[in-house]
Structure 1
Amino acid sequence: MAPSHAPAHRTTQRILEILTLIAAEKDGLSLTDLCRAMDAPKGSLYPILKTMSDQRFLSQDPTSGRYHMGAMTALCGRAFEQNDGTFKLLNECARQVVDACGETCQVGFRDGSYVRYLLRVDSPQPVRLASVPGVTLPLHTTAIGKALLSALPNQEVDQLVKIPWERLTSHTLATPELLHLELDQVRAGDFAYDRGETSEGVTCIALPVHKGDQIPWGIGVTTPAFRLDQHKEALIKEVLAASRATLESLLA
């Protein structure tokens, strides 16, 4: 029987890290970029990159030499969207949220010290959020990130969100104590907020989605601050609460 905590296979781990790094960069990455990010020699990475390119999991720009995601990764992603029951459920709930409140809905999960956005359903409004699934942002700067952090004790939160804090705008929370206060409110049943902390003039309201004693997902609605009057805020919170209840019931 294989050991329950077998060490990671080095080459496989590097393949996965390459895919993760390149997926996060819309302009792609060069061999030098990847070597620096992974602290790996070119002689180790180049054969992996060549094989991945030959198999069309990556594509290489002939002019710049930078690597981008290839056609096979798109097909794998599409298969996940079409066949994974949890993704389809999350996506359908997000669509219902947008239909009900008219603003962009996103779902994300925790990836180390970051929130990684799994999916986004766009608002029909002419002014809307400009982001893409796969993007990562520091947990403490986003409403979904705070919703996810609410599952953890403050001591563990402080291990993830290390000093000095990354501040994306002048509104990003400045101290661990301020973050603790907001997380306590979320733990008590309140909504998590991002009030211009990630992007100036943009507000996000989010809730954690529980599955047993875990919080695998956060779901949030993002809107330009100028559209968020009291009526819209109340509507968003009502719709999010109903969506979370549906998700938690179906995911149980």
Structure 2
Amino acid sequence: MIVKQAANVLDLIEFFAVHRRPATLAEIAKHFEWPRSSTFNLLGTLAARGFLYEPRARGGYYPAPMWAALIREIEAAQPIPAELHGLLEALVRETGETAVLAAASGSHALFLDAVESPHAIRYTAQPGKLVPLHVTATGRALLSQMTPEDRAAILRKAEFKRYTDTTLMTAAVVEHEVQQSRKLGWFEGRGEYTTDLGGVALPLSLPNRQFAVLVAGPMMRIEHRIAEFVRIMRAAIERQLSA
């Protein structure tokens, strides 16, 4: 379920991140095709709470520094270890493919950090991206760290939509794949969510935190290097986290 007002606030912040300039009520209403009255109410509420301000009189609204201050406080309470970004950079250097750090968010894997491959044709991944847990290697690596009860609860609610010809279509098949991959020690993606995209994911448990690390790229470059990627990822994780 999407709460429209909350979604509008998030869309507005993404708008400013892309345009990087103040915008008037009229510009915002036109861009989103929102009624002027509801746009006025949304902007007025955010301005009254100190989340928007006008850098120049009648020159349009812009996000206030309060956003950055709150994010710093939130991140300081439970930061993502800095060495994990170094891990992603090392994986890109050693594999040539895109590396991603993800965590579970409900029934999805949320990309927390990513470093993209230098190849022109590559897997494009940005922080904030959500992918279903049950149809991706990243998601299954995260599912594997949950209790059987929690995993079963997520799979009962999962939408088994066919994204590609190789999408796993039942909870039983996903559970079997999780168990088989746990025995292997890694989780392999074979285009179940995005056609011609392959990857390897490893679960990564830290004190009070559970992550997954993914290396992914076009299937034509990935499929013959799975074992190599697993070796590189294991060595890089041990090296970075023991430094």
Q: TM-score, normalised by structure 2?
A: 0.71
Note the alpha carbon deviations across 1:19-45, whole angstroms, 9 max, x for none.
Answer: 66767899997769xxxxxxxxx98x9
1:1-252 maps to which residues of 2 (within 5 A)? 47=41, 49-52=43-46, 55=50, 70=63, 72=65, 75=68, 86-161=80-155, 162=157, 164-188=159-183, 190-212=185-207, 216-230=210-224, 232-246=225-239, 249=242
| Contact 1:210-1:217 at 8 Å conserved across structures | yes
The aligned length equals: 216
CA separation of 1:244 and 1:138: change in aligned 2, threshold 3 A: same
CA separation of 1:73 and 1:146: change in aligned 2, threshold 3 A: farther
| Contact 2:164-2:194 at 8 Å conserved across structures | yes
| Contact 1:151-1:215 at 8 Å conserved across structures | no
* Distance (Å, rounded) in 2 between the aligned partners of 1:58 and 1:29: 20
* Distance (Å, rounded) in 2 between the aligned partners of 1:123 and 1:173: 27
CA separation of 1:158 and 1:189: change in aligned 2, threshold 3 A: same
Q: Report how far residue 188 of structure 1 moved.
A: 3.1
What percent of counterpart residues are identical? 22
The 3-state SS of whatever aligns with 2:162 is: coil
Note the alpha carbon deviations across 1:117-164, whole angstroms, 9 max, x for none.
Answer: 011101111110123210111101111111010012333222112254
Report the aligned-residue RMSD: 4.0
* Distance (Å, rounded) in 1 between the aligned partners of 2:152 and 2:166: 19
Q: TM-score, normalised by structure 1?
A: 0.68
AA aligned opposite 1:185? Q
AA aligned opposite 2:89? R
Note the alpha carbon deviations across 1:101-122, whole angstroms, 9 max, x for none.
Answer: 1100001110011111011101
* Distance (Å, rounded) in 2 between the aligned partners of 1:242 and 1:77: 36
